[in-house]
Amino acid sequence: MGAVSSRLPVFPWDRLEPYKTAAAAHPDGIVDLSVGTPVDPVPAVIRRALTDAADSPGYPTVWGTPALRDALTGWSERRLGATGLTHHHVLPVVGSKELVAWLPTQLGLGPGDKVAYPRLAYPTYEVGARLAGAEPVAYDEPWELDPAGLRLLWLNSPSNPTGRVLSADELRRTVTWAREHGILLVSDECYLELGWEADPVSVLHPDVCQGSYEGLIAVHSLSKRSNLAGYRAAFLAGDPAVLGELLLIRKHGGMMVAAPVQAATVAALADDAHVAEQRERYARRRTALRTALEGAGFRIEHSEASLYLWATRDEPCWDTVGDLAKRGILVAPGEFYGAAGERFVRVAFTATDERVEAAVRRLA
């Protein structure tokens, strides 16, 4: 166990526990804006599909049912603009965090290999590299990286934590650079449905990939768009050669999405109404929190998409966390996402309307 723990950083949220305790002591209770976990009901159409498939005594297939693969390719073509997809271009996975953490290992990366990710990023990109024994490398612009030894390049647009959205030109430039150097590019697009002041583009869009999926994988999740974090429903789309290798590995490892969740995913991807309804909820909460934060002296940077506001008062992030905790509001310190975030906090708007209203009152 000691060897494992020495490879990994401290789990970030453990450091937040004292502030969570302080915020919970507020007379009106805690407003937890630190984690982007859905709080609204799972849409009825999805719950019906799950329960209708509850009598599933046999093992599910790793590749998913034909109906699920049809749903994944159909949604990717309709929503991402991808063209010419077959079942070999998609692969269901057990939540996107599992994929991020274990992809370098499943690809066979190890000592001497490098995994690159944005300087401000979801911590699991680094964790995945370390679990494989590869070298994690943070970047500002991907095309400025030294390609020597670089095997896997992560993109994240819209970004967690900043909400930054990469333009089609930026994505296309990165795709071209990665292909020139034979580097697998994996684009984490889990917040793509949540653009507010920008229209996020997938790496699989023809304007970006030039009609070829070679060396490209897009990662998508239903956790945010459909309130399905508890279902662990996600999938990959892209290069069939890479996905074929991952399918074989995942068969050997028994990495199967539960059969009722597969059925629920089919229903979720076929229904756009619940996505629009949830977007409206988040838009209201986002506007209320942004107005309150700016009124309280915060500056919001980026945040044009995703479920977060990237906020600063130009002070050390832990000072901000401590001050807000005294008001019963818990936020995530920007330092969790890299040293470049040390003067920012990430404020999630995944709280109920009542809790968001409470935060607005306290900020005033």
pLDDT bin (cut points 50, 70, 90) of residue 3 is low
Three-state secondary structure call for residue 258:
coil
Alpha carbon distance 99, 95 (integer Å): 7
Alpha carbon distance 71, 78 (integer Å): 10
Starting at the edge strand that comes first in sequence, how are the strands of the sheet with 332-333 ordered? 299-301, 308-312, 345-348, 332-333
The pair of three-digit structure tokens given for residue 307, joined into one six-digit string: 């479920």
Q: Which tens digit of pLDDT belongs to each residue from 170-220?
A: 999 999 999 999 999 999 999 999 999 999 999 999 999 999 999 999 999
Question: Which pLDDT score is estimated for 160?
Answer: 97
The stretch 262-283 carries a mean pLDDT of: 97
pLDDT bin (cut points 50, 70, 90) of residue 65 is very high
DSSP 352: -
Alpha carbon distance 215, 289 (integer Å): 40
Question: Which pLDDT score is estimated for 1?
Answer: 45
Q: Report yes or no: 177 and 142 within 8 Å, Cβ to Cβ.
A: yes
pLDDT bin (cut points 50, 70, 90) of residue 6 is low
Q: Is 29 left (phi over 0), alpha (psi -120 to 50) or beta?
A: left
Alpha carbon distance 75, 235 (integer Å): 11
* Gyration radius from the chain CA atoms: 20
pTM (2 decimals)? 0.94
Alpha carbon distance 324, 308 (integer Å): 16
The stretch 55-64 carries a mean pLDDT of: 96
Where helices occur in 181-239 by DSSP H, the ranges are: 206-209
High-pLDDT (> 90) share of the chain, %: 96
The stretch 116-139 carries a mean pLDDT of: 96
Neighbours of 64 (CB within 10 A): 26
Question: Which pLDDT score is estimated for 290?
Answer: 98
Neighbours of 19 (CB within 10 A): 21
Question: Which pLDDT score is estimated for 5?
Answer: 55
Choose among 105, 104, 95: nearest CA to 256: 95
The stretch 305-328 carries a mean pLDDT of: 98
The stretch 250-257 carries a mean pLDDT of: 95
Q: Pick the more confident residue, 11 or 187.
A: 187
Q: Would strands 299-301 and 31-32 be described as parallel, antiparallel, or unpaired?
A: unpaired
The pair of three-digit structure tokens given for residue 161, joined into one six-digit string: 């934590």
The Cβ-side half-sphere exposure at 219, using a 13 Å CA radius, reads: 25
Three-state secondary structure call for residue 226:
coil
Q: Report yes or no: 305 and 198 within 8 Å, Cβ to Cβ.
A: yes
Would the pLDDT of 2 be above 60? no
Residues whose CB is less than 8 angstroms from the CB of residue 18 and which lie 6 or more positions away in sequence, other chains included: none
Burial 286-304 (b: 16+ CB within 10 A, else e): bebbbebbeebebebebbb
Question: Which pLDDT score is estimated for 12?
Answer: 74
Choose among 232, 222, 231, 199: nearest CA to 101: 232
**Average pLDDT value over all residues in the chain:** 96
Domains and CATH numbers, the chain: 2-41+274-363 (3.90.1150.10), 46-270 (3.40.640.10)
First vs last Cα of the chain: how many Å apart?
47
The stretch 291-311 carries a mean pLDDT of: 98
Would the pLDDT of 53 be above 90? yes
Choose among 70, 88, 103: nearest CA to 267: 70
The pair of three-digit structure tokens given for residue 145, joined into one six-digit string: 């990286």
pLDDT bin (cut points 50, 70, 90) of residue 4 is low
The stretch 113-142 carries a mean pLDDT of: 96
Question: Which pLDDT score is estimated for 11?
Answer: 75
